[in-house]
Structure 1
Amino acid sequence: MTAALVWFRRDLRDVDHAALYHALRRHDRVHCAFVFDTEILDALPGRMDRRVEFIHGSVVALDAALRARGGGLIVRHGRARDVIPALAASLGVAEVLSNRDYEPAAIARDDEVAARLRGMGIGFADFKDQVIFERGEVLTQGGAPFSVFTPFKRAWLKALTPFYVKAYPVEAYAGHLAPPPDGTGVPTLAELGFATTNLAELGVTPGRAGGRRLLADFLTRIGRYKSARDFPARKGVSYLSVHLRFGTVSIRELAAAALAVGGEGAETWLSELIWRDFYQQILWHHPRVVAASFRPEYDRVVWDDAPDLFAAWCEARTGYPLVDAAMCQLLHSGYMHNRLRMVVASFLTKDLGIDWRLGEAFFAEHLIDFDLAANNGGWQWAASTGCDAQPYFRIFNPVTQSEKFDPDGAFIRRYLPALARVPARYLHAPWTMPPVDQKLAGCVIGQDYPAPVVDHARARARTLARFAVVKGADGDVAEA
């Protein structure tokens, strides 16, 4: 008889799980473990973190699901690179199995764990689980990684067969699960050194049950996804990003659901899932993007050192309502609508002239669904430094974006109560409101709501001049 250890990370579910399936197929006795990694937790800026609370709730749910199958989770709190080899040795397993991660730090950690296990005569195996296609599975005809999304998408769809979205039948082999040692349980948030946040108040339910409920709801309205997804005041998107990030839902079940439904909305949503694969393979093939521009010539761009402007952006004090409302949404909930992520990123880089890396780091700190590949890819897209990015001269106008995607101001008024009584004709640019109307609305600009920190037209001209070092790379000037 042989035993194995499955190391759960960003795959917190007991179904359709690649590493768990292979462990159950290969071995007679399968232990399951999760590590609250202090190398990650100790680097967090505070002790109230929605991600940690979401992970904790999902680990509790996973433990309960595994116990219902006769197994359970061994949960540890420490350095994963130390805990996993020690645990594997104490359990006497022949092999440790996990699902693959594509982030440079995670790859280095896994390489170290694998080496330490080999030194003890224990095997290590990892599997594709969080993407449909990984690494070198979708390449150009010349065998190179794609750097433009549309041809990647065409190749992705051409390569797709039912095999790639088929669920791993974990439940068929669940009899091989080993229960954890007596007295083993999940430590409380307080025992981990963290406090509860407003996650419950926000209606975010961790674990597979929460993800499944959101998916079921989204499938009733997926047909409207293409027409509704850009409007933050509407219930147009899936809200599944945090569940996808921590694997409480499977990418295969989401892609399979989109393919089964079909139609314009489902096809558009599937395209967003393909973007996720695209950015993961960019990160794997080009790990330098973590700190540098994907397009090296754009590292010649000189960004402004403007801490006051950066603080205004971080604190929702720019004077541009859609930008400030979006930042308020992020600060309040840890979530930001995807259209707004593009708007605020464009504003930081092309209106304020601030390095995209500062915005990326701020999002990394606050987003509950933070994913390095997608966050980096999105920021470099907005800053025009990345693969398949918008041209540097395509600069979002924060007023016209507001008028187009929040036309009646419902989203703005929800997050900026100071603007609640501002007439609709002034809401998107309240500094244009005459003084008498400001007083009538109870919103004096510069007192009740900030004046714009920059003039968009002048900022746009400065951006075009800033990018002169790469002029000619992208074509003609335009504005969105």
Structure 2
Amino acid sequence: MTSSLAAQSPVIVWFRRDLRLRDQAALSAAASAGPVIPVYVLDDECAKHRRMGGASRWWLHHSLEALDAALRKKGSRLILRRGRCEEVLAQLARETGASAVHALHHYEPWWRNAQKAVGKALTLHLHHGNYLAPPGSVTTGTGGAYKIFTPFWRALNERMPPAEPLRRPHTLAAPERWPESDALGDWKLLPAKPDWAGGMRDFWEPGEEGAAGRLAAFVEAAARYEGQRNLPAIEGTSFLSPHLHFGEISPAQVWHAVADAGGSVATFLSEIGWRDYAQNVILQFPDYGATSAKEGFDDFPWRSGAQAEADLVAWQQGRTGYPIVDAGMRQLWHTGWMHNRVRMIAASFLVKHLLIDWRRGEQWFWDTLVDADYGSNAVNWQWSAGSGVDANMFVRIMAPLSQSEKFDAARYIREWVPELADLPSGEIHDPAPMIRPRAYPARLIEHRAGRERALGAWERFKGEG
């Protein structure tokens, strides 16, 4: 079998956000078609302003290392090239005599453009496998696209479970001669001066094995998901989001591993469904990360000027004077990740208490999250701002002090805001000025004043509309 494949023209597997060997339909198809040349192309030109942020680039470096090591165990290797995808892949095809390219479908607007360009230059075979169902395939009774999550999830859930995950190829036939590859270190994906990634190194293990380890640890807790997912001090979430984003594990693998856990696992599965929903939204609205979905919302009277910019920096650095917000923003800076409940609180605070355009927050998360997914990030920020096709109402303003107490965030605050660690639980959520340590900042704005300012801006917006 291997010798007969070796005599055939090689085929290219174009890796992007699908950095795994198991349940990788493009790799499986290529492995049965001839010698395989696995390729990752770092294409910042295609993505333009949506090039990966610093945290994502750190993750990518380590994930590519892990993928190359896994491929070498199969008698293969990962070829690294940099440039525009269509040009790089066409050049590789000329160098190697490759007859076709296999890849998984991607739905971000820049990847859709790249797929069209590659398809014009080469024979491109696109496969599914990054979502529970191909985005765009779950439609209403009249064939339209869903805009609201609940009916979308109901329709998607009726098609579950997904197909059983594909096995890893046993071996991969190598081409007669390997093309040259860039050295991963030359891409300078890792921070150097300063090296701000120490916390991420301690917390994460990028790669397919790291993803499998996270999933195995979560299976035991999946049945208790509903009761624990909103408690930031408890590790009740799966921590799978960056592994899913980079495709180190497929959603089908996750589904089949936890679906029979019982308890409240259905709530967790709906979160996997939300990931599919976000891709369906950006398929309908490719500019969702930059343009408010609700008509006229881009004219909302957001604050601007020097004070607004100073408030934005304070929010980014975790110096707002609200312990739950500051804990989340510091966790984000240290680990590249933030607890989901705290993400909502921090996003609401920026958009409503500080009246800063949701796009500024979306851009910050894009640069600092290791799970910075275009669809999910944009959909979640527009949900918080009230500007999305399926969104929270703007006038629903989260109260960070009561949210902190309600979700028992005292231990979480002690971990990430150590200057408050000595305060008793009854005071740590809302440290009064007379007991607030001097090292901890005063509030940027009091809750009542922030709420009134936000509602006043809303009334002006409606009046002008």
Q: TM-score, normalized by length of structure 2?
A: 0.90
Residue 346 of structure 1 aligns with an amino acid whose one-letter code is S
Find the counterpart in structure 1 of residue 328 from structure 2: 326
Residue 260 of structure 1 aligns with an amino acid whose one-letter code is D
For 2:176 and 2:158, how far apart are their aligned partners in 1?
Answer: 43
Find the counterpart in structure 2 of residue 462 from structure 1: 453
- Whether the aligned pair in 1 keeps the contact of 2:199 and 2:334 (CA below 8 Å) is no
Provide closer, same or farther for how the CA distance between residues 219 and 422 of structure 1 changes in structure 2, counting only shifts above 3 A.
same
Find the counterpart in structure 2 of residue 404 from structure 1: 406
Find the counterpart in structure 2 of residue 171 from structure 1: 169
Q: Unaligned stretches of 5+ in structure 2?
A: 1-7
For 1:319 and 1:298, how far apart are their aligned partners in 2?
Answer: 29
- Alignment of structure 1 residues 169-248 onto 2, 5 Å: 169-171=167-169, 174-178=171-175, 181=178, 187-189=183-185, 192=188, 194=190, 195=192, 197-198=197-198, 201-248=201-248
Q: Deviations over 1:289-316 (max 9, x none)?
A: 1211122242332211111211111111
Provide closer, same or farther for how the CA distance between residues 265 and 179 of structure 1 changes in structure 2, counting only shifts above 3 A.
farther
- Whether the aligned pair in 1 keeps the contact of 2:59 and 2:206 (CA below 8 Å) is yes
- Whether the aligned pair in 2 keeps the contact of 1:72 and 1:179 (CA below 8 Å) is no
For 2:313 and 2:177, how far apart are their aligned partners in 1?
Answer: 48
Could you say what the CA RMSD is over the residues aligned between the two structures, in angstroms? 2.4
Q: How far 1:56 sits from its partner (Å)?
A: 1.9
- Alignment of structure 1 residues 141-160 onto 2, 5 Å: 141-160=141-160
Find the counterpart in structure 1 of residue 16 from structure 2: 9
State the secondary structure of the residue aligned to 2:80: strand
Find the counterpart in structure 2 of residue 427 from structure 1: 428
Residue 18 of structure 1 aligns with an amino acid whose one-letter code is A
Q: How far 1:396 sits from its partner (Å)?
A: 0.3
Residue 450 of structure 1 aligns with an amino acid whose one-letter code is P
Q: Deviations over 1:380-399 (max 9, x none)?
A: 00111112211112110010
For 2:204 and 2:46, how far apart are their aligned partners in 1?
Answer: 22
Residue 181 of structure 1 aligns with an amino acid whose one-letter code is W
Find the counterpart in structure 1 of residue 313 from structure 2: 311
Residue 187 of structure 1 aligns with an amino acid whose one-letter code is A
State the secondary structure of the residue aligned to 1:318: coil
- Whether the aligned pair in 2 keeps the contact of 1:319 and 1:450 (CA below 8 Å) is yes
For 1:427 and 1:255, how far apart are their aligned partners in 2?
Answer: 38
Q: Does 1:107 align with 2:112?
A: yes
- Alignment of structure 1 residues 266-285 onto 2, 5 Å: 266-285=265-284
Q: Deviations over 1:276-332 (max 9, x none)?
A: 000011001111312111222423322111112111111111111100111010111
Q: How far 1:37 sits from its partner (Å)?
A: 3.0
Provide closer, same or farther for how the CA distance between residues 357 and 145 of structure 1 changes in structure 2, counting only shifts above 3 A.
same
Q: How far 1:88 sits from its partner (Å)?
A: 1.6
Residue 59 of structure 2 aligns with an amino acid whose one-letter code is F
Residue 210 of structure 2 aligns with an amino acid whose one-letter code is G
Instruction: Tell me the number of residue pairs that the alignment of Structure 1 and Structure 2 aligns.
Output: 449
For 1:21 and 1:249, how far apart are their aligned partners in 2?
Answer: 15
Higher mean alpha-carbon deviation, 326-335 vs 100-109, is at: 100-109
- Alignment of structure 1 residues 294-309 onto 2, 5 Å: 294-305=293-304, 306-309=308-311
For 2:135 and 2:37, how far apart are their aligned partners in 1?
Answer: 29
Aligned mate of 1:95, from 95, 100, 123? 100
State the secondary structure of the residue aligned to 1:189: helix
Q: Deviations over 1:345-404 (max 9, x none)?
A: 000001111100000000001001100100000100011111221111211001001111
Q: How far 1:170 sits from its partner (Å)?
A: 4.3
Aligned mate of 1:51, from 47, 53, 56? 56
Find the counterpart in structure 1 of residue 5 from structure 2: none
Provide closer, same or farther for how the CA distance between residues 49 and 288 of structure 1 changes in structure 2, counting only shifts above 3 A.
closer
Q: Deviations over 1:215-270 (max 9, x none)?
A: 10110111111111111111101111111111111111011223233x23321110
Aligned mate of 1:39, from 45, 49, 53? 45
Q: Does 1:63 align with 2:54?
A: no
- Whether the aligned pair in 1 keeps the contact of 2:135 and 2:276 (CA below 8 Å) is no
Find the counterpart in structure 2 of residue 478 from structure 1: none
Provide closer, same or farther for how the CA distance between residues 301 and 34 of structure 1 changes in structure 2, counting only shifts above 3 A.
same
Q: TM-score, normalized by length of structure 1?
A: 0.87
Higher mean alpha-carbon deviation, 215-224 vs 74-83, is at: 74-83
- Whether the aligned pair in 2 keeps the contact of 1:62 and 1:207 (CA below 8 Å) is yes
Find the counterpart in structure 2 of residue 475 from structure 1: none
Find the counterpart in structure 2 of residue 371 from structure 1: 373
State the secondary structure of the residue aligned to 1:202: helix
Q: How far 1:125 sits from its partner (Å)?
A: 1.9
Q: Unaligned stretches of 5+ in structure 1?
A: 473-480
Provide closer, same or farther for how the CA distance between residues 179 and 309 of structure 1 changes in structure 2, counting only shifts above 3 A.
farther
For 2:240 and 2:182, how far apart are their aligned partners in 1?
Answer: 25
For 2:407 and 2:359, how far apart are their aligned partners in 1?
Answer: 26
- Whether the aligned pair in 1 keeps the contact of 2:46 and 2:114 (CA below 8 Å) is no
